[in-house]
């Protein structure tokens, strides 16, 4: 069900906010395999053993991560202060500087992401307007989110410009995960077209368990690449239409005559980052909530990814 009538929000008690210590932050690799590697029992539990081979044809690897108190002073971190080059031009949305979501030192994840065409070094920084919190369906709001890529040397620890919207500083633990298509995606439509209808009905609960078992209990299903965990509809189509100037907050963009010509580029869009709501169990009763237990998704075209044109991302929010 669409939930765009309720404004999204981020909630975290201010008393539980952390600060990144001053000093030189370094890249330190922290990753391992996911929580569960043998998925046979999950197929058996949901009565999908007969369809296992077909389902696994659609599997895509991803780099999952968990938010943790340890390591919040490293270069790869969620929230807190930004590590940016001297003179960094902070991205803005209608005159308001954006807020830092997280930063990734690419050397930290060189092993697990080596097949995903990210650069081997440097820093990716993800920004979002936490005040307006655009959903991504309006071409007028494309400045409400931004991804910067820069060298990891000679960075300056910088306060976020909007102190009331600083997210709690958390470390990141990386691990490999296996992902499968979710209802609402084009890959899901292709998958269920190849299995019996009764098995397709069981797939909905199966895929949640399949992925959830690979993440620490209580945390969000955060990841880079892989299949998106759709809560609502087709994000690839929405990305293609919105970035080409069509409004998708109602049916007008989807019914526009230009849709037919634009659909040829839909499959170019790939998931870059999925940022889930999170209970932040390391911080007692703190939590981060996107809408009603929703997620933020950053997408970009494969061509732009290969060129390192990270400023051409598109972001959307989906929730229950």
Q: pLDDT tens, 53-71?
A: 999 999 999 999 999 987 7
- Where does the pLDDT of residue 222 fall: very low under 50, low under 70, confident under 90, or very high at 90 and above? very high
Vertex 222, ends 247 and 144: CA angle to 5°?
35
pLDDT score for 22 = 30
Q: Share the mean pLDDT of the chain.
A: 87
> Distance between CA 211 and CA 296 in Å, rounded?
17
How confident is residue 130, by pLDDT bands cut at 50, 70 and 90? very high
Looking at residues 212-241, what average pLDDT do you find?
Answer: 94
The pLDDT of residue 17 is above 50: no
Check residue 26 and give its pLDDT.
60
**Confidence band for 33, pLDDT divided at 50, 70 and 90:** low
More confident residue, 24 or 276: 276
pTM of the predicted model as reported, rounded to 2 decimal places: 0.89
What confidence score (pLDDT) does residue 32 get?
56
**Rounded alpha-carbon distances, angstroms, from residue 303 to 174, 270, 307, 309:** 26, 10, 6, 9
Chain centroid, CA 38 distance in Å: 25
What pLDDT score was predicted for residue 115?
58
Pick the CATH number of 14-318 from 3.40.50.1000, 3.30.420.10, 2.30.320.10, 2.60.120.20: 2.30.320.10
Which is more confident, 2 or 218? 218
Domain spans of the chain, in order of start: 14-318
pLDDT reading at 243 higher than 50: yes
């Amino acid at each position: 069900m669409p939930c765009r009538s309720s404004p999204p929000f981020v909630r975290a008690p201010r008393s539980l906010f952390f600060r990144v210590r001053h000093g030189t932050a370094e890249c330190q690799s922290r990753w391992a395999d996911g929580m569960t590697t043998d998925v046979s029992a999950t197929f058996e539990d949901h009565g999908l053993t007969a369809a296992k081979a077909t389902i696994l044809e659609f599997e895509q690897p991803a780099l999952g991560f968990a938010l943790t108190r340890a390591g919040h002073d490293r270069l790869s971190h969620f929230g807190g202060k930004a590590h940016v080059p001297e003179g960094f031009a902070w991205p803005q949305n209608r005159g308001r500087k954006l807020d830092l979501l997280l930063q990734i030192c690419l050397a930290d994840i060189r092993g697990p992401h080596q097949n995903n065409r990210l650069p081997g070094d440097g820093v990716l920084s993800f920004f979002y307007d936490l005040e307006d919190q655009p959903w991504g369906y309006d071409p007028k709001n494309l400045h409400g989110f931004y991804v910067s890529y820069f060298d990891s040397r000679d960075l300056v620890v910088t306060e976020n410009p909007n102190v009331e919207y600083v997210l709690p500083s958390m470390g990141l633990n990386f691990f490999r995960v296996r992902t499968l298509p979710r209802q609402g995606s084009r890959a899901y439509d292709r998958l269920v077209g190849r299995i019996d209808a009764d098995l397709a009905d069981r797939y909905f609960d199966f895929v949640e368990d399949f992925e959830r078992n690979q993440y620490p209990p209580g945390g969000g299903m955060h990841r880079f690449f892989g299949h998106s965990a759709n809560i609502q509809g087709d994000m690839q189509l929405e990305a293609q239409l919105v970035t080409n100037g069509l409004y998708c907050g109602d049916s007008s963009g989807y019914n526009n005559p230009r849709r037919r010509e634009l659909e040829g580029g839909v499959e170019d869009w790939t998931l870059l980052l999925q940022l889930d709501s999170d209970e932040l169990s390391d911080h007692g009763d703190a939590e981060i909530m996107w809408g009603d237990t929703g997620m933020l998704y950053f997408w970009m075209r494969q061509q732009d990814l290969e060129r390192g044109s990270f400023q051409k991302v598109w972001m959307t929010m989906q929730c229950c």
